[in-house]
Amino acid sequence: MSNADSLRSSAQERLVDRHPEVPADQLVAQMVPPPMFDEVSFDSYIPDPKEPSQAAAVRKAEEFAGEVAKIHQAVHKKSLFGKKKQVTGAGLYLDGGFGVGKTHLLASIFHSAPAPKSFGTFGELTNLVGALGFTNAVERLSANSVLCIDEFELDDPGDTMLVSRLLTELSAKGVSIAATSNTLPGQLGEGRFAAQDFLREIKKLGSIFEPVRVDGPDYRHRDLPPAPEPTSAAALTERAAATKGSTLDDFDELLKHLSTLHPSKFGALIAGVSSVFIANVHPVADQAVALRIVVLADRLYDASIPVTVSGAKLDQIFSQEMLDGGYRKKYLRAISRLLALSRFEVAA
């Protein structure tokens, strides 16, 4: 009996047996910060004293949150003729590497802003537009005080221009926009280059966006050891069985299952799961498969779900060829997050 067959024959719950459905009208309602950012604030962000840009970014983000509230109030204030004033939303772009607290600041802006408001990754926003249609998405989001977009990406020109058009229309309706980048640390000049690319892509919004640099090392790996060694196949099965609410899947079967689901359903796929165990992990060679892993890693990280694997180490899941390609930023972010989740499980 193969390892995959053995997993199928066990009583352990598996992700591949889940087939979630997420109605389109719930996509807007669920656009809120991940649970790990439920309680964050500007005060709870601890700037690195060695990185003065962090303290400066906190001040800028806090000032922007105050501006959002004023603009939202002005938008809904009627003139002497009974019409709402035409007010343009403000914009803030937090540019920096992985793990420097940009999402913390973005979530703090969200929490400080008046309702209605929305928070989501760039991918979640494109999924929303795809599910609702462009006009419907504009209509549903136009009442917002702010739209917070985490990990704005420039590697898909079509999606970038779609979102740029969306932001242009929302800004004209008085919705303020806050965004973060996924610039790599240690690449001099790339942060500012990414900011300029972003501003160029959203030409009509460029004049209202203020790029703010956030420097520093990835806090998820400060003073931490390298990627944990994979667990043995037998130990993985044993630990999964002993962990209430966990799932245990064969890597290839899980990847095949992900291909049958829209990425907007990946969050629902892992809902209620306490810990994820994956057997027989190996490097992937297909770009589409790798990008699905990126989305799953994001959703697992958002939900703070520990990950334990057998097979290859998690920092070897993407080949060097992939890491050298156009989706390098996404893959490194996924590795960073998976390693954080794997250490969480080891520590537990």
- Residues β-bridged to residue 120: 149
| Pairwise CA distance, residues 275 & 183, whole Å | 29
Q: What is the residue-averaged pLDDT of the chain?
A: 84
pLDDT(1) > 70: no
Q: CATH assignment of 49-216? A: 3.40.50.300
Report the alpha-carbon distance of residue 86 to residue 172 in Å, rounded. 8
Q: Mind listing the pLDDT tens digit for each residue in 85-142?
A: 678 899 999 988 777 889 999 999 999 999 999 999 888 898 888 888 899 999 999 9
Whether residue 184 is predicted with pLDDT greater than 50 in this model: the reply is no
Whether residue 157 is preceded by a cis peptide bond, meaning omega within 30 degrees of 0, is no
**pLDDT of amino acid 328:** 81
Q: 185 falls in which pLDDT band (50, 70, 90)? A: very low
Residue whose pair of structure tokens reads 């807007």 in the numeric block: 28
Looking at the predicted structure, is the pLDDT value of residue 82 above 70? no
Q: In this predicted structure, what is the pLDDT of residue 11?
A: 61
Range of lowest pLDDT (107-111, 167-171, 215-219, 223-227): 223-227
**Distance separating alpha carbons of residues 275 and 277, to the nearest angstrom:** 7
Classified as helix, coil or strand, 194 is helix
**Per-domain residue ranges of the chain:** 3-22+224-347, 49-216
Q: For the residues 214-232, what does the mean pLDDT come to?
A: 70
As a whole-number percent, the residues of the chain with pLDDT over 70 amount to: 81
Cα 87 from Cα 175, distance rounded (Å): 9
What would the pLDDT profile of 248-305 be if each residue is shown by its tens digit? 999 999 999 999 998 888 989 999 999 999 999 999 989 999 999 999 999 999 889 9
- The mean pLDDT value for 170-193 works out to 69
Tell me the pLDDT band of 222, cut-offs 50, 70 and 90.
Answer: low
Instruction: Tell me the pTM.
Output: 0.73
3-state SS of 47-97 is CCCCCHHHHHHHHHHHHHHHHHHHHHHHHCCECCCCCECCCCCCEEEEEEC
Report how far Cα 18 is from the mean position of its chain's Cα atoms.
22
Q: State which of 15-19, 189-193, 197-201, 262-266 shows the largest mean pLDDT.
A: 15-19
pLDDT at 347 over 80: no
C-alpha torsion 144→152→265→159, nearest 10: 100
Interior/surface letters 145-177, b for 16+ CB within 10 angstroms, e for the rest: bbbbbbbbbbeeeebbebbbebbebbbebbbbb
Q: Mean per-residue pLDDT for 56-82?
A: 87
What integer pLDDT is reported at residue 61 of this predicted model? 97
pLDDT for res 346: 44
SS3 1: coil
Token digits for 166? 């969306």
Given pLDDT bands bounded at 50, 70 and 90, which one contains residue 81? low
